Structure 1
Amino acid sequence: MTGTTKNCVVVIGVGMTGLSVVNYLLRKGGDIDIKVIDTQMVRQGSVQLPSEVELHAGGWNMNWLLNANQIIVSPGVALATPELKEAAAKGIEIIGDIELFARDVSVPVIGVTGSNGKSTVTSLVGEMAKTAGINVGVGGNIGFAALDMLMNDHALYILELSSFQLETTLSLDLAAAVFLNFSEDHMNRYIGMGDYHDAKLRIYLQAALAVWNQDDTKTMPVEHANAIRFGLTDGEYTLTLRDGFEWLTANDEQIMPVSDILLVGRHNVANCLAAMAAADAVGIERIAQCAAIRQYRGLPHRCQKVLEQDGVLWVNDSKATNLASTLAALNGIRRDGKLHLMVGGDGKGANFVSLKPVLEKLNVTLYCFGCNGQSFSALVERPVVVETLQQAMDIAAKDAVSGDMVLLSPACASFDQFLNCMVRGDTFAAYASVAVSKKHEDRS
């Protein structure tokens, strides 16, 4: 940086988020020198960086870091990383892409976080807005990078926000901040549950309205002046009975029967209540909310039915990357026959013992795969322990009979064997018919 007066910005990470930051900074223009660091070994030609942006790959460049005016870090890199702590100690500003977005956006924004269900609620509120004819951008931790969406003339943004993104966000003025639930996750990143919880609570900073879960008091905002509750048992957005049927109810007004919801499971009833509260905060018409709820079939890789053959139902819940998501799936799906449940992958330091009492109540065969598959083996008496997901599917296909369900709900991240949870889910969906065909070939 010697000999130049340019403002030096160092971007950490060359994935989707990092590239969106670089492109955003180039669009903004000005006298700026952009440099990119990625600790993984990547080559300049293998990424979509403009030729004028210098890349340092395969490790840290402390000269760049310590001479930067600003560091913009991708969510996957922890602020506790020693190299970043050294830069922070020098007084260098370290922020994330959502903070850049916050400093630029001029229309209402809804933020959604939680250990489970945030993708569903984010996309459902987006569908409500689209049904109402609103030009809405849906992204953040799901779909499009937040900064890329600023290129479009959106009248409203719905952002899924992870704890990692919230750590580096200071000034996001949310029209509504939704905190769905809280449970153990990412213990390989945080010092403990308190550290993780503090990161999640940051969603309420600057928010005009805090929307929290009456059935999970860990989501309660601390001293927020304007807060409302949703919940299955109580809250401004809750359930009431009429003529023996449950109704979604908002501020004592019965809106629509629960039986109209296409999504499966009690957790998704709560998700609909949270989505209604967020939609009300930005004036989305009630008729559009109800129409979206009646039509919304959920996200790929989230309790997605991929095959039903010989009376056996195969369900892809690959987005269940933590224990809470798997528990929600088990509570939401019903089947008369045996459940063939596939768990495992990268456990992120979690303890899965709370799954044991739930499994004891089910007619279940547990298939444990991946690098932390053994962590589940003590939860049932006769687990099936294999190395890969495909091996588990082959065995399940042979053993499953009409009325059974084969469910991939891993409670773990996918990075030990797959690029991401979507690739894991696609593998499950594509291989299901192959596994069934093998079964028929073996019998013929």
Structure 2
Amino acid sequence: MRLVVLGAGESGVGAAYLAQKQGYDVFVSDFGPIADKYKKQLEDWNISFEEKQHTEDLILNAVEVIKSPGIPDKAPIIKKIREKGIPVISEIEFAGRYCSAKIIGITGSNGKTTTSSLTYHILKNGGLNVGLAGNIGKSFAYQVATENFDLYVLELSSFMLDDMFKFKVDIAVLLNITPDHLDRYDYKLENYAASKFRVTQNQTAADYFIYCADDPETIKGMADRKFDAQLLPFSIETKIEPGAYLENDNIVINTNQEHFTMSIQELALQGKHNIYNSMASGIVARVLELREGTIKESMGNFKAIEHRLEFVANISGIRFINDSKATNVNSTWYALESMSSEVVLILGGVDKGNDYGMLKDLVKQKVRSIVCLGKDNKRIHDAFEDDVHVIVNTFSAQEAAQVAFHLAEKGDTVLLSPACASFDLFKNYEDRGNQFKAAVREL
């Protein structure tokens, strides 16, 4: 049986390896160049591949196509595959067929990497045999082929969920729904929301759906959908049982009539958005009946993720924070919301149709000046010219760090939280964050 994998990144190469192990005749095709490390893996495994092109004769004879999450449905090759009636699935859907482990699936516009990493950290510390995959770390398919975990924490993007059909998540977590990637969803928020709710598809009464009761789009989306799973909401605005809520600065988690309580001061992750993330992870841990002491200890000693509100240095009384992973406006809103000092904000990159309006109040309250880091900064100037005294254009991480340092005063925070994708000047958000950190260390 011939299986074609489109895209030779982490997920594609992992899927190809699993498919070969399962006896498929596998071919990998990437329209761009393939990174050396992945090319070497494909060669070592004797998997045939092509790069910088899609040869239709070698693709349209597949019984099934595994598509990388980054390839949009409107790509010409996808249209041709669909016209021929060849099924297109995600790497997660494919790997799920060969995996009997329990699955915790975490999605949301913001916070999913943090929540997935925190959940994994708690479960691993609790002695569970657990893997971490999806949008993070080694691909799910590669781990299914090479490991033997009892359960997985999967960070699921909307693009992954779009091509998942029979796959079932035992414990589904939906953190929030805010406008992101709308260019892939006909600029309709309800289409993007529908994609996020796919995390609950195929769930039964034995499963759990954990969601934020304070998120208006989630609540709106739930109104006309039916859920078979047991519902466990979390809120910092109202008392909810069963579920999680905030009482006198304590997180209270109540599942199965047992109360877990922890002061928000003890959490390793600070800021309002991280109370939500910690609640979601805590509910998962309680559903899996982990000991209270283990959960508290893990929530207290968790190390934040690289490029997500990551402390870089303190130079002459000025803090530098790398939040390069903030590729949408909502992430930047969260970052600003958690700042307790005056901010010099580094913004910009590839704008995905951003609405900067939601940042206006926080920018007026907290931002001293804005440093733009991108090729086209006109929309940032238009959005904030009345709210800050200085907006400066820069075209490299080094220049942005230097300019921000000069604009900042003692006690300020220089915050790289771009609200945009990075592809105009950098390879990806990691590259942007790493260049920024290197530039800060040279100051």
Same fold, judged at TM 0.5 (above):
yes
Distance of aligned partners of 1:219 and 1:205 in 2 relative to their CA distance in 1, 3 Å threshold: same
Query: What CA distance in whole angstroms lies between the structure 1 residues aligned with 2:407 and 2:315?
Result: 14
Helix, strand or coil: the match of 1:391?
helix
Q: 2:413 aligns with which of 391, 394, 405?
A: 405
Q: Kindly indicate whether residue 398 of structure 2 is the aligned counterpart of residue 390 of structure 1.
A: yes
Query: What CA distance in whole angstroms lies between the structure 2 residues aligned with 1:275 and 1:125?
Result: 5
Q: Kindly indicate whether residue 206 of structure 2 is the aligned counterpart of residue 206 of structure 1.
A: no
CA contact 1:240–1:254 (8 Å) conserved in 2: no
Q: Kindly indicate whether residue 422 of structure 2 is the aligned counterpart of residue 414 of structure 1.
A: yes
Helix, strand or coil: the match of 1:383?
strand
Letter in 2 for 1:181: N
Structure 2 unaligned spans of 5+? none
Letter in 2 for 1:217: P
CA contact 1:248–1:273 (8 Å) conserved in 2: yes
C-alpha distance after superposition, 1:264-313 (max 9, x if no partner): 21100111111112222333333221111011131111111110121110
Q: Kindly indicate whether residue 336 of structure 2 is the aligned counterpart of residue 344 of structure 1.
A: no
How do 1:266-281 and structure 2 match up within 5 A? 266-281=272-287
Distance of aligned partners of 1:387 and 1:273 in 2 relative to their CA distance in 1, 3 Å threshold: same
C-alpha distance after superposition, 1:305-324 (max 9, x if no partner): 11012111001111111111
Letter in 1 for 2:31: T
C-alpha distance after superposition, 1:174-197 (max 9, x if no partner): 121101011111123221222211
Q: 1:258 aligns with which of 260, 264, 267?
A: 264
Query: What CA distance in whole angstroms lies between the structure 2 residues aligned with 1:279 and 1:389?
Result: 39
* Structure 1 partner of 2:130: 136
Q: 1:61 aligns with which of 23, 36, 55?
A: 55
What displacement does 1:41 show? Answer: 4.1
Helix, strand or coil: the match of 1:361?
helix
Helix, strand or coil: the match of 2:182?
coil
Structure 1, 47-56 or 71-80: larger mean CA deviation: 47-56
How do 1:126-165 and structure 2 match up within 5 A? 126-150=120-144, 151-165=146-160
Query: What CA distance in whole angstroms lies between the structure 2 residues aligned with 1:401 and 1:76?
Result: 41
* Structure 2 partner of 1:27: 21
Structure 1, 175-184 or 358-367: larger mean CA deviation: 358-367
Structure 1, 357-366 or 312-321: larger mean CA deviation: 357-366
Letter in 2 for 1:170: F
Letter in 1 for 2:171: A
- The alignment's C-alpha RMSD in Å is 1.9
Distance of aligned partners of 1:43 and 1:282 in 2 relative to their CA distance in 1, 3 Å threshold: closer
Q: 1:18 aligns with which of 12, 16, 25?
A: 12
Query: What CA distance in whole angstroms lies between the structure 2 residues aligned with 1:60 and 1:414?
Result: 26
CA contact 1:377–1:385 (8 Å) conserved in 2: no
* Structure 2 partner of 1:36: 28
- TM-score, with normalisation over the residues of structure 2? 0.90
What displacement does 1:44 show? Answer: 9.1
Distance of aligned partners of 1:398 and 1:61 in 2 relative to their CA distance in 1, 3 Å threshold: same
C-alpha distance after superposition, 1:318-343 (max 9, x if no partner): 111111111001111211xx311001
Distance of aligned partners of 1:100 and 1:282 in 2 relative to their CA distance in 1, 3 Å threshold: farther
How much identity, in percent, do the aligned residues show? 31
Query: What CA distance in whole angstroms lies between the structure 1 residues aligned with 2:355 and 2:382?
Result: 12
Letter in 1 for 2:61: N
What displacement does 1:402 show? Answer: 1.2
Structure 1 unaligned spans of 5+? 1-6, 437-444
* Structure 2 partner of 1:325: 331
Query: What CA distance in whole angstroms lies between the structure 1 residues aligned with 2:84 and 2:92?
Result: 23
* Structure 2 partner of 1:182: 177
CA contact 1:355–1:379 (8 Å) conserved in 2: no
